[in-house]
Amino acid sequence: MLKIVNSSLITSVLAFGLSSQVNAATNVNEALANICTIVQADDKGELRKKMKSVEDDFRLKLQDYYSGISCDGNSLIRTAMLNNAEEAGTLLIKKMPKSTLNEPEKDGKTLQAWVSEKGLGSNPLATVLAARI
């Protein structure tokens, strides 16, 4: 009888732990739901608030969730460049580690290679990126 109680208790604890992890992932997705819109609107203050709330609530820094966000197939920094969102893009570039800025993104191209390919070398964010790297 004691073995049944112990195994039931362990099973329910594991089930609760797994469901809380799923809820946490769902909550993070909800918290980041409109981040693309914020970047496109070049709302630096709102972006800063969003990043701070995700860090406080979920203990995640920008580099932890950056690669998981796609705005119409582009990363947040690429979205900022395409929308001339200078303030939001500058904040994103300054908050990302230099090593991450040099890494290839999902399409296999680094940010600098993508900027060159798209002809965005005159974009102010391209200058900020080059200075940071």
The predicted structure's pLDDT at residue 26: 63
The predicted structure's pLDDT at residue 24: 52
Which domain does 47 fall in, by range? 33-132
Shared domain for 9 and 55, answered yes or no, is no
Shared domain for 77 and 115, answered yes or no, is yes
DSSP bridge partners of 74: 71
pLDDT in tens, 49-107: 999 988 998 898 988 888 888 899 989 999 999 999 999 999 999 999 998 889 988 88
Query: Crossing angle of helices 44-58/2-31, nearest 10°?
Result: 170
Shared domain for 116 and 81, answered yes or no, is yes
- Of 45, 54, 106, 55, the closest CA to residue 77 belongs to 106
Shared domain for 67 and 120, answered yes or no, is yes
Shared domain for 67 and 85, answered yes or no, is yes
The predicted structure's pLDDT at residue 105: 86
Shared domain for 3 and 37, answered yes or no, is no
Q: How many domains does the chain have?
A: 2
The predicted structure's pLDDT at residue 5: 39
Shared domain for 23 and 47, answered yes or no, is no
Three-state DSSP state, 60: coil
